[in-house]
Amino acid sequence: MRSITPIRGCVPRPVCPRPRVWEADVQGPFWWRTLLKLPGRSMQQDRARLLRRLAGRFPARVVDAIAQTPREDMVPPEYRDLAYRDGPLRIGHGQTISQPTMVAIMTEAIDPQPWERVLEVGAGSGYQAAVLARLAAHVVTVERVPELAQLAARQLDALGYADRVTVREAGGILGCPEEAPFDAIIVSAAAPSPPRALLDQLTPGGRLLVPVGSRKEQRLLLLTRTPEGHTTRFCGECRFVPLIGPGGWPEEDPA
């Protein structure tokens, strides 16, 4: 599950002080203005340019994790040359791999530590999990589309992440309670409210990062579990694909 439409970056708050940033809609004209291959631009040049931009806005450990993760090996072959343009790319089944800036925003906000275990809801092609695995002790990522779960597992294994990332096909329960508790959870799809089932899968002091709102517009929220319940920080307005199933919307709901 991947975000696919314009997003506005985080407001200036301590948790994730980001300026405005846009994530292109893969169907719309902004997609073509952003990602259309320009003459004389190689993938290596795109990569260097992207990393320079990220280095000016994000912590070094986040930028290093993105730099060490080969995005070109986690996109369809027809989009390989566009791997380091700062926009989402289609990966099939109506899903996308998120733009690198969005991956940086979410990774910085959740702030995974080397001793922590992280859960990702929405594996997609495995890119976000690979970035997280560079920073955390272990990542469990779940995906509701069987074909994408298999793709993510194959790609992560081929890139040497098998010992750091576990890929699971999502069942009828949100998250992965059999592997809980987790120190941090990232949700790459929009929920109508913070899912209680995921908060229950956190350690004390654990963090949940989730887009919350309607199917069309959301707020990216960082919730931290406390003895009294949880605290909440606002990390910006965003637009993600809807979370389908437990904690989200029914697939057939058109609203």
Rg (CA), the chain: 17
Token digits of residue 197: 């089932």
Q: Tell me how far apart the alpha carbons of residues 158 and 100 are, in angstroms, rounded to a whole number.
A: 21
Q: What are phi and psi of 69, to 5 degrees?
A: -105, 115
- Please count the CA atoms within 13 angstroms of the CA of 37 that sit on its side-chain side: 11
Find residue 167's DSSP bridge partners: 141
193 is catalytic: no
Beta strands (DSSP E) in the chain are: 89-92, 95-97, 117-121, 138-143, 165-169, 182-187, 202-213, 218-226, 229-238
Amino acid (one-letter) located at 1: M
Q: Is 192:214 a contact under the CB 8 Å cutoff?
A: yes
Query: Rounded to whole angstroms, what are the CA distances from 2 to 98, 168, 202?
Result: 6, 17, 22
Catalytic residue, from 3, 42, 98, 193: name it: 98
Residues forming the active site: 98
